[in-house]
Amino acid sequence: MTISNSEKIKLVMAKDWWETEDLGGKLEKVKVSDGPVGLRCLAITDSWENDSIYPSVAYPCYQMLSQTWDTGLAWEMGRAIADDCIDHNVDVLLGPGVNIKRTPLCGRNFEYFSEDPYVAGMFGKSFIEGVQAGHVGTSLKHYCCNNREYSRYWLSSEIDARTLREIYLKPFEIALKAKPWTVMTSYNLVNGVRMSANQELNHVLREELGFDGVIVSDWEAVQDPLDSLHAGLDLEFPHNAKHAEQMQQHLKDGKVDLACLETSANRMLALSEKNQEAKKNRNVKYTVEERIAISQKVEENGIVLLKNNGVLPLQSGKVCVTGAPSHIYYHGGGSSAVKPNRPFVPLYDALSQLGYDAFYTESIGKVYGSNVSMGNLKKACLESADSDVTILTVGTGAGGEVEETDRRDITLTPEELDAVKYLRKYAKKLVVVVYAGSAVDLSRFDELADAVVLAGFGGQNVSQAVANVLAGKVNPSGRLTETYAYSIKDIPSENTRRDEACMYYDETWHVGYRHFATENVPVLYPFGYGLSYTEFAYSNLQVCGNTISVDVENVGKMDGKEVVQLYVAGNREDAPVRELKAFQKVFIKAGEKVTVTMELDQDAFKSYDVQAGGWQVQKGEYALQICKNANEILLQMPFVV
């Protein structure tokens, strides 16, 4: 196909809000759509307006997906979302996001997987493979160091080379093995250079990480379209009439590097051709009801039982349910606001359907960010006293966790703290269920409740999933993929510098459990933590070459799933005390024992050498540690590299 330079300029700039340029029908356009937790597809293509969103399956957020510790479920959820895309003629899903949870205050943390780069990378990789198995493309985002929403268009993330490679680029490196069609740059600057025009990091993406697809801007992130093109950006989204006019004028004035233009235009042509070929093979794999069932299965596997003093599973009796999330659908805000295709089922209805004498009583009516409408708490307390079990639901929701702004603190509202305090005085047994997309301060709830359950943002069937776990129809098997600290003051990134222009990553690799475990800082719930209705015993840790095996026995009375976590502890100075390098989730029947095997390659023993400008295997003695969580070693043995 012969196209002019003027047409090539059009190719590297979107046609409208959601579609690439088709040059008047000369080539196949590509339609993209938001999709962090389900398809957010609009009936119109020239706007971001929410009122035209098609109903679609609302899946659990990425936090809950990662808490399953089952990458097979990430593939399955991705493949289901591909079917949603096929239903609405969407060619590229704008996800997954693999940014590191540097701080729990980030407003978009519910869209990200973990504080750990290995977990984030592995789940991102499997999700991409699932979506693209349906012949629908993906957009790996947000590249890179977009770890706060505060002034996200203007602040520069100032970071050293080692931390950048080992923590913040590592999940992209892993996820890129799945070969996403596109990579989306973030809004922020990195070391003073805007990511939509960051030639150095685009070079890393292509030459070191091997990406050969289209680099696309986040929406309205481009400030200078000419600089962005010359830095390696292939596609600006959405259409910007002013930028389009500027670029045509730059072309006439001879300011456009024609080699750069040719390269990016060819990538856009290749994307169009790839999409045209993919369309021939698109077939829906799952019915809508099967996709909803997958959504519920992910949530059931991601729910984390944080505390249980014998109240769960629920026995028969009268169950009092209260709190806003029990009857209002809680989810994150912004580009992930999916319009569910089925009515929300309140938690008390879901429990009633399982045969419980469950009813709702008002306490916390609605939560508007940090503002709360409090109902008749006295009545709730009296009805709690007349019940066998009281379930209090608390959480954040779209008013507290949303794109373009950060949370002020990790505490829940004073009204919710009042509710747990006063209900504790009356309730025979008190269960707290938490609906939040990122870590919150649960110390007060842990202190007063008989059981604490993390339901997160669980998608449209969250109530059915929570009810099944509370009832024991599903044995909880979720494990945390971020640390729950006692206070925001304990988070290293919250004690670093920030000014009007820069956010300094002074804490270096001290992110999440790497910091807490290394510095022996107490936490409420460590990374990798989660309880079950059964118990598991570990034995017989062995190493044969790069294969590590361990026996795991279910010594309880209930079938269940266990997450086997393998960490590597090194002897290098200025390094974490241990780092997660492999994991596997296994189902074990009561009384049975299985042997779990995991492989470690050379990457498990590499660190980034700044002076050498590359990754180096650090020879020496290590310890292989099978852990219950990042703070609890079960078995270990030496290993020499």
Q: How many CB atoms lie within 10 A of CB 374?
A: 16
Report if residue 401 sits inside a domain. yes
Which stretches within 343-490 are classed as H helix? 347-353, 377-385, 414-426, 443-448, 462-471
Q: Reduced to 3 states, what is the DSSP secondary structure of residue 430?
A: strand
For residues 569 and 618, membership in a common domain is answered with yes
End position of a domain, from candidates 250, 279, 308: 279
Question: Residue with structure tokens 């400008």?
Answer: 613
Quote the domain boundaries for residue 332: 294-495
| pLDDT-derived band at 120, boundaries 50, 70, 90 | very high
Q: Residue 197 belongs to a domain with what CATH number? A: 3.20.20.300
The per-residue b/e assignment along 3-37, b for 16 or more CB within 10 angstroms, e otherwise, is eeeebbbbbbbbbbbbbbbebeeebbbbbbbbbbb
For residues 363 and 388, membership in a common domain is answered with yes
End position of a domain, from candidates 246, 279, 312: 279
Q: What tens digit of pLDDT does each residue of 125-175 get?
A: 999 999 999 999 999 999 999 999 999 999 999 999 999 999 999 999 999
For residues 216 and 302, membership in a common domain is answered with no
For residues 198 and 339, membership in a common domain is answered with no
CB-CB contact of 89 with 45 (8 Å): no
For residues 313 and 263, membership in a common domain is answered with no
Report if residue 343 sits inside a domain. yes
Indicate whether 368 pLDDT > 90.
no
For residues 322 and 213, membership in a common domain is answered with no
- Tell me the whole-structure pTM to 2 decimals: 0.98
The pLDDT of residue 573: 83
Report if residue 349 sits inside a domain. yes
The pLDDT of residue 576: 96
CB-CB contact of 218 with 34 (8 Å): no
Report if residue 502 sits inside a domain. no
For residues 266 and 319, membership in a common domain is answered with no
For residues 78 and 215, membership in a common domain is answered with yes
Which has more confidence, 570 or 155? 155
Closest C-alpha to 482, from 530, 527, 521? 527
Q: How many domains does the chain have?
A: 3
| pLDDT-derived band at 111, boundaries 50, 70, 90 | very high
Report if residue 150 sits inside a domain. yes
The pLDDT of residue 399: 82
For residues 202 and 316, membership in a common domain is answered with no
Report if residue 504 sits inside a domain. no
Q: Residue 634 belongs to a domain with what CATH number? A: 2.60.40.10
CA distance 570 to 10: 52
For residues 119 and 257, membership in a common domain is answered with yes
End position of a domain, from candidates 474, 495, 516: 495
Q: DSSP assignment of 557-606, as one string?
A: SS-EEEEEEEEEE---SSS-S-EEEEEEEEEE-TT-EEEEEEE--GGGGE
For residues 261 and 321, membership in a common domain is answered with no
CA 307 to chain centre: 23
For residues 433 and 392, membership in a common domain is answered with yes
Q: What tens digit of pLDDT does each residue of 411-446 get?
A: 998 999 999 999 999 999 999 999 999 999 999 999
Q: What tens digit of pLDDT does each residue of 264-292 get?
A: 999 999 999 999 999 999 999 999 999 99
Report if residue 528 sits inside a domain. no
Report if residue 197 sits inside a domain. yes
Average pLDDT along the chain: 96
Q: Which residues are catalytic?
A: 218
Return the percentage of the chain with pLDDT > 70, whole number. 100
The pLDDT of residue 369: 66
